[in-house]
Structures are given as structure tokens and as C-alpha cells.
Amino acid sequence: MKTIISIIILSFTITFNGQAKIEINDFKNLNNTSWKGTLMYLDYSDGKEKRLPTTMLIKIKNNKIISEIKFPGEPKANSKNTTKIKKKGTYFGNEKVIEKSILEDETLKVVTFFEGKDNNKKAKMYKTYLYSKEKITIVKEVMYFNSDEKFIRNKQEFIKTQKL
């Protein structure tokens, strides 16, 4: 009997303390939707916040989230991104998933981590993705290797305009 209880406790511990994982079904409500919002970014040249109006279309295909982002005032900045869920759900594109939770209002929260360069300095970067039925927020925070402080490099906020 002790062995069975130990196995059950161990399974719960592994389940709840294991690596955060995502799956494509977490994002199914985003399929064939359009969004309107803003991109706020911290300008490298003067350190000031800039804001750009933006629109986004999202489609889901197999294990990929395809987003087409347009900047009406700066069409050269338009982009089409494909983000694949990798390594059995432990990576969102090239970003390691470090947290996944469902908030009280049913918003999906995914936090990722990756290393790279920001403003030509080595940095740790964190992205927080919040997906609800009507709103998307993506915040990128940066922490330089020689610092203990994070700062917001950019923030995207969108409101759903329609289901396509």
C-alpha cells in the first residue's frame, strides 16, 4: 500500500513540477481571426517609446501558428511569421516555454525564454503571451547579462475584429 501511495505522489509531483508544455489545441480559438492594435517599442536611438498601429491575421495549420502582421503607416515593416510548436510542446518556435497557465478569465498565459542580442549586447529575453477570446497581448522583456533588471523592449496589444 505504501508503494502505491508513493507512486501516486511521485506521478503528481512529476506532472505538476515538470517542464511547462503547450500544444496546438491551446491556440485553436485563434484560427482564422483578424486583429487590430498597436506595437509599442523602445527606440534604440533615443530610448523613447514609439507606437505604431497594426493589424494581424492568424491561421493555424498543423502544428504551426501563422501570423501576418501589417503596419498601415510603414508597409516595409509588414511580416509573415510561422511559429511551430517544437520538442513535444516545450518550445514555442525557438523560445523555451517556462510557464503555461490559464488565468481566471480563461486567458491563456505562456511565458518563454531565449538568449540572444539586444542593442548589440548579449541578453536574456522573456516573452509573455496572453491570449483571450477577444484580446492578445505580447510583451518582450530584456535583461542584459551584466544586469539584474528587466525592461520592456516591446509590447503588442490587439483586439479581435472578426472571425474569418
Indicate which CATH number applies to the domain containing 48.
2.40.128.20
Q: Is residue 83 part of a domain?
A: yes
Transcribe the chain into DSSP letters.
-HHHHHHHHHHHHHHHHS-----GGGGGGGTTEEEEEEEEEE-TTT--EEEEEEEEEEEEETTEEEEEEE-TT-GGG-EEEEEEEEGGGTEETTEEEEEEEE-TTS-EEEEEEEEEEETTEEEEEEEEEEE-SSEEEEEEEEEETT-S--EEEEEEEEEEEEE-
pLDDT above 90 (res 4): no
pLDDT of residue 32: 95
At 41-71, the pLDDT tens digits run: 999 899 899 999 999 999 999 999 999 999 9
pTM of the shown model: 0.85
At 25-45, the pLDDT tens digits run: 999 999 999 999 999 999 989
Q: Is residue 6 part of a domain?
A: no
Q: Cell numbers of 155, please?
A: 509590447
139 alpha-carbon distance from chain centroid: 8
pLDDT above 90 (res 9): no
Bridge-based pairing of strands 64-70 and 108-118 is unpaired
Q: Is residue 9 part of a domain?
A: no
pLDDT of residue 18: 75
Confidence band for 17, pLDDT divided at 50, 70 and 90: low
- What domain range includes position 120? 20-163
Confidence band for 145, pLDDT divided at 50, 70 and 90: very high
Q: Is residue 5 part of a domain?
A: no
Q: Is residue 157 part of a domain?
A: yes
CB 102 within 8 A of CB 108: yes
What is the separation, in whole angstroms, between the first and last Cα of the chain?
Answer: 55
Q: Is residue 14 part of a domain?
A: no
- Give the chain's domain count: 1
Q: Is residue 106 part of a domain?
A: yes
Q: Is residue 58 part of a domain?
A: yes
At 68-121, the pLDDT tens digits run: 999 998 899 999 999 999 999 999 999 999 999 999 999 999 999 999 999 999
